[in-house]
Chain A
């Protein structure tokens, strides 16, 4: 018998082991749901898959009686627009802050301490201020996402900038490069894949801030909807919405990873040489 640390599963076993917990959870859910519904057909806590299917159909494929919109898609579009804008702003701002503080000691001396302090402010604590300053419209929600993740991205890019071997910067200087040329041709291209990594890691936090903002003040959005239907204990709507949010998050992650491999083939295969 080999030591446990040397035992690796074959691909087939690996796949089965991966699926096993999902299957178990599903099984447990179905069993408990059946039990509860048998005791009380009006139970709302663990709806059956038929009930969930009906809810999905009602939300996604029938126009709302009140507004005539397809609520599920309307919610998705609103949420993705807010998240996308917020992340876009955060990524651009974070990249600029990170590269300038990482590459230029003078900028670093002036900006870094502020950045450190700002990154310690809990973004959700700023939400009331954002509502007061920007109103209850789209802007305050986008701003919460942006403010929440910009410092994280900026500090990550700052660290990545400093990780680029000093030899490369010296080399570029001996070739006659000025500061702008070094930043644009040597640093920036090597930081773009790191930016994608940083965005992948902060997307989770982005969703958190988005759903929090939508829960508090909104008229549509995925986060708004699940907090709205909570009042009626509509687990048949909440569960598919949560699954949908998870699926979206997963798809973005996969897409960004693919984009990174596609755009920066040198990065996936070694990075700093």
Chain B
């Protein structure tokens, strides 16, 4: 369904990604791990359409992926992905309204009623039915992410992109969210790409784990070479030794250069 052929991404002289080749079938659940600034988020942005490849191709069903975000690819960010000025219910109803052509993005009459009904249903599914009339600032981090997921699912995307969606959550809540996302993945027959900092999360969730790392390293010019997919592993057949090996590779003794790299840039 999605494939990359010799994909590169550069910002000026700074090579972020190089020689990415991959093929992902429908309904896979890919988790991506890597050090900060290794380009995993950049890769996700290319799938999303807010960044485009410098060279090579990124294909969806054999055609280059659209260079702007669209309803076939849903997204949940770590933060800011719900609308702060709408209540929980309005957030989801708005998602419904955006699917229809129109200028205002408001629904009226029967359409509004139907949308509210459908919104309440999906909010029940993610466990937010007790908070329909609250504003996002009144929700906990976990509830906010549940809302963001409900919103994304309502648009019926084929691909769901998750950019460190649970990075800011407590471990206990994170486990609940894992369960939720796995259930929804099966039920909605989604193809999921998830960026995470947490290797355990990558080993536990999904069907496939990618590790992004630099194959070549020039200490004089740290940005001369980009990262690539160094491990492409089917999840479920992983042993402890390999986990340790990857875990070590993700935590190299860093040589003083900025940890954030491009990850933090908008």
Contact = CB atoms under 8 A, between A and B. Distances in A.
Interface string A250-273: 000000000000001111011111
Contact of A178 (B77, B79, B83, B101): B101
Interface string A223-234: 000000000000
Interface stretch (A76-84, A166-174, A205-213): A166-174
A266 to B, nearest CB: 4
Contacts of B81: 167-168, 171
B85 interface: yes
Given A170-B48, A174-B71, A270-B137, A184 B83 contact: no
B84 A266 contact: yes
A185 to B, nearest CB: 4
Contacts of A181: 97-98, 102-105
Nearest to A266: B135
Contact of A173 (B70, B106, B144): B70
Contact of B77 (A171, A175, A267): A171
Contact of A175 (B50, B98, B144): B98
Interface string B79-105: 111111110000000110111011111
A166 B105 contact: no
A179 B48 CA distance: 18
Interface of B is mostly: loop
A177 B189 CA distance: 23
Given A168-B80, A180-B104, A266-B137, A175 B85 contact: no
Interface stretch (B25-33, B121-129, B149-157, B252-260): B149-157
Nearest to B94: A185
Interface of A is mostly: helix
Interface residues of A, number: 30
Interface string B51-79: 00000000000000000111101110101
B264 to A, nearest CB: 13
Contacts of A271: 84, 137
A174 B155 contact: yes
A265 B90 CA distance: 15
Contact of B136 (A175, A185, A273): A273
A273 B99 contact: no
B266 interface: yes
Interface in A165-222: 165-168, 170-178, 180-182, 184-186, 189-190
A178 B48 CA distance: 16
B48 A184 contact: no
Contact of A185 (B71, B77, B97, B101): B97
A189 B85 CA distance: 7
Contacts of B69: 170, 173-174
A62 to B, nearest CB: 51
Contacts of A172: 83, 98
A173 B97 CA distance: 12
A174 B70 contact: yes
A186 B98 CA distance: 11
Nearest to B159: A174
Contacts of A171: 75, 77, 81-83, 148, 151-152
B99 A184 contact: no
A177 B98 contact: yes
Nearest to A264: B85
B17 to A, nearest CB: 20
Contacts of B157: 174
B96 to A, nearest CB: 9
B266 to A, nearest CB: 6
A175 B84 contact: no
A166 B71 CA distance: 17
Contacts of A269: 135, 137-138
B82 A176 contact: no
A170 B144 CA distance: 17
B95 A165 contact: no
B104 A184 contact: yes
Contacts of B71: 174-176
B104 A185 contact: yes
A266 B151 CA distance: 19
A216 B94 CA distance: 52
A78 to B, nearest CB: 38
Nearest to B163: A167
A182 B103 CA distance: 9
A174 B160 CA distance: 10
Contacts of B80: 165, 167-168, 272-273
7 contacts: A167-B80, A171-B83, A174-B157, A175-B94, A175-B99, A189-B85, A266-B136
3 closest Cβ contacts across the A-B interface? A181-B105, A270-B137, A177-B98
Given A175-B155, A271-B137, A273-B137, 8 more contacts: A165-B80, A167-B80, A174-B71, A175-B154, A181-B102, A185-B83, A185-B98, A266-B136
